Amino acid sequence: MTVTIASFRKEAATAVGDAHLQVALETATGHFRDGRSEALAELPDAEALRDHLKAVRAATIARLADHLETFERNAIAAGAHVHWARDAAEAAHTVTELARARGVRLATKSKSMATEEIHLNQALRAAGVEPVETDLGEWIIQLAEEPPYHIIAPAIHKTRDQVAALFAAETGAPPADDDIATLTAIARRELRQRFLNAGMGISGGNLAVAETGSIVLVTNEGNGRMVTSLPPLHVAVIGIEKVAPTWDDAAAWLSLLARSATGQPLSIYTTVITGPAQEGDVDGPAEVHIILLDNGRSRLLGTEYEEVLQCIRCGACLNICPVYREAGGHAYGSPYSGPIGAVVSPLLFGLENYPALPHASTLCGACQDVCPVRIDLPRMLLALRAEEVSHGLASPAETVMEKGAAFILAHERLLRWGRRLLALGQLPLVAGRQLQLPPNLNPAQERRLPALAPRSFHEIWPELEDEDV
Amino acid sequence: MSEARAQILERLRARQADATDPGAWTTRRDFPDLVSRFSTALEAARGEVFIEDDLAAAVVRLERLLHNLGAQRVVANPEPPLDTLDLPVRFPDYAWHVAGENREALRQFCSEADAGLSSAQAALAETGTVIVDNADGRSRLVTLLPPVHIVLLPASRLTSDIFTWTAARSGPLPPNVTLISGPSKTADIEQTLAVGVHGPRRLSVIVYR
């Protein structure tokens, strides 16, 4: 799939035209924005803590190999198996092989963007394993056969009626009513059986702590605990950049993660997994496997994009972004949407596959303002745009226009005459000093563009200069 | 597999840079009363907190909670102070299971229990968090599968926040440590809060001094 400017515009226009969806997007992102502001305001040293976490993340990424080796050593000492995957296929293959070797037919999953990234569910199905998403939002979009709409709230675009219909189709019985408590109770009942019957639990990892070889999972529903406690086998897939060297670093990370994401001081459940059940344990998986996923991340080290590896995936940049808030998550065509997705998707999955995303931004900088580790996303969006031009990925029409504009702007006389010509040429389109754009350029007639003035600022400047200002 | 490992590490090493360790976060919050902060924070997350003068009062509270729940089946972790209370004898009206040898029976009982009883190894005042782990024969399912989780927490186990907890910690961790900061919740349908989607829908913490 390629996300072109045309395909982005088409998806975004659908979202903008859907009044219900616009309300849902604004309610959800507004709720998260307010929550974040309040949570950070309650923390006396929030700004200093953000700077501290940024310094921790930057230092960790710079020496990533050392920290990964420490993590691996301690995880193995705790009895876990550690696998390394260069790309999506290798990671998915590792998981399906683990399932196949143990005859697993049913796998329960805790929400994980890394497994979305490697298309694990398709790979599992192809290997004869039924994957069941257990985060309520993820289960809803799995039933709807759609990608997640938001990094932390995958089904914000679905209404309760739609959810009720999906549950009816899945369970064969329509819900008693479309009360949200009723729908939630259905999910609890249906998924509880899956948790108990699954041969394998699959999770991502919000972070990995090198000091103890632990994987940390953050959930509000408790599905992360189920998936890592009930099946005999637990497999965690985690990006190589998500290491915290020490528990103190992990504490700083966790202090800002939920606050930035939902405005909670901590999520309801922070689960720390350090190896499989030990001799004498009364429950827990017999085997824990951790897959360290590269998939394009190591290529970014030492480049102008290295900073993006500091991301802790809180989603704050989505909630603030004026483009995401209107266009919605699906336009981005990637599990990672919003400003972070606009940078990460082209970098991990190829700029040629996501040529539209560096342009899906107003460069207003709000994403950097709210980022817990202050990642300079606007800078990287510009760098990606420059790369498109230098790699010949920009459209021919755009290239011609930009070269033309550059030439004209460099020649004052051309600019002056060109402007005069345009001022005359626009006349048939001008009404009340506004330019009436043709419908194909302004489908909803919501854009207001002032007409070119009869004389340019440059032309009237000498007269202004004479005035006594 | 080891080829993938070698390649990834080699690529990372080739591009690595010097880095100064920023050190630990040393700023500390100062809560004049840990119990009251804990209680405010947990209640804000829809948990329930009862503050009792001593263990005897805590047990009276526990009895009242179980009674009001209409509980019939109760599962408990084998840990202090629960294991000193002789609960099955004291409250013979309930069917009891104490986590122990038989894994299958524990799992089955937890799936059908009305309440799970545990203590907590530590608690964080700032965020209203209880920390449970699976060392010394404690079960993870006791605090997860039943619809109600009741915690008997000695006030002495309260620490300020996640930083003071990690600073006090050392050595290897047990396979499972969970920080619980409220009842299970979701807002995945129309941003409307619903409690008890997978984990316990009610979290009651009895703090005793």
ipTM of predicted assembly, 2 dp: 0.98
- For residue A403 the two structure tokens come to 């070269």
Q: Do A268 and B180 touch (CB under 8 A)?
A: yes
The answer to whether the CB atoms of B178 and A284 lie below 8 A apart is: no
Q: What is the pLDDT of residues A187-214, one digit of tens each?
A: 999 999 999 999 999 999 999 999 999 9
Give A121's pLDDT tier (boundaries 50, 70, 90): very high
Record: contact B144-A277, CB cut-off 8 A: no
- In the sheet that holds B48-52, the strands lie side by side as B48-52, B202-208, B148-154, B115-118, B73-76, B95-98
Residue B101 exposed, middle or buried by CB count within 10 Å (0-12, 13-18, 19+): exposed
Looking at chain A, which residue has its C-alpha nearest residue B200? Answer: A222
Confidence of residue B49 (pLDDT cuts 50, 70, 90): very high
Which residues from chain B sit within 8 angstroms of residue A299, using beta carbons?
A: 11
Q: Which has the higher per-residue pLDDT, B80 or A454?
A: B80
Q: What is the pLDDT of residue A458?
A: 81
How far CA A318 is from CA of A137, A341, A436, in Å, comes to: 17, 9, 33
Best of B31, B188, B201 to substitute, by most chain A Cβ atoms within 10 angstroms, is B188
Give the whole-angstrom CA distance, residue A372 versus residue A56: 12
Q: What angle (nearest 5°) sits at the alpha carbon of residue A293, between those of residues A342 and A64? A: 90
Kindly report the nearest CA distance between residue A365 and chain B, in angstroms: 26
Q: What are the pLDDT digits (tens) for A75-109?
A: 999 999 999 999 999 999 999 999 999 999 999 99
Give the E-state strand segments of A13-80 in sequence order.
Answer: none
Confidence of residue A154 (pLDDT cuts 50, 70, 90): very high
Locate the chain B residue with the closest alpha carbon to A209: B173
**A25 Cα to chain B: minimum distance (Å):** 10
Report the SS3 class of residue A390: helix
pLDDT for the residue A454: 83
First CA to last CA distance, chain A: 58
SS3 category, A73: helix
pLDDT value of residue A443? 65
Closest CA to A384 of A404, A361, A406, A365: A361
Q: Do B182 and A268 touch (CB under 8 A)?
A: yes
Cβ contacts of residue A281 below 8 Å, gap of 6+?
Answer: B134, B137, B175
Write out pLDDT tens, residues A206-261.
Answer: 999 999 999 999 999 999 999 999 999 999 999 999 999 999 999 999 999 999 99
Q: How far apart are the C-alpha atoms of A265 and A275, rounded to whole Å?
A: 27
B-chain CB neighbours of A83 within 8 Å are 1, 4
Beta bridge partners of A218: A270
A229 contacts on B by Cβ (under 8 Å): 140-141, 144, 176
C-alpha pair distances (Å), A139 with each of A185, A190, B189: 14, 11, 11
Instruction: Please name the amino acid found at residue A6.
Output: A
Chain A, chain B: beta-carbon pairs less than 8 Å apart: 256
Provide the pairing of β-strand B148-154 with B115-118. Answer: parallel
Cβ–Cβ < 8 Å for B123, B179 = no
Size (chain B), residues: 209
B188–A265 C-beta distance less than 8 A: no
For residue range B4-34, list pLDDT tens digits in order.
999 999 999 999 999 999 999 999 999 999 9
Contact between chains at A184 and B176 (C-beta distance less than 8 A):
no
B186/A136 CB distance under 8 A = yes
User: Does the distance separating the beta carbons of B190 and A180 come in below 8 Å?
Assistant: yes
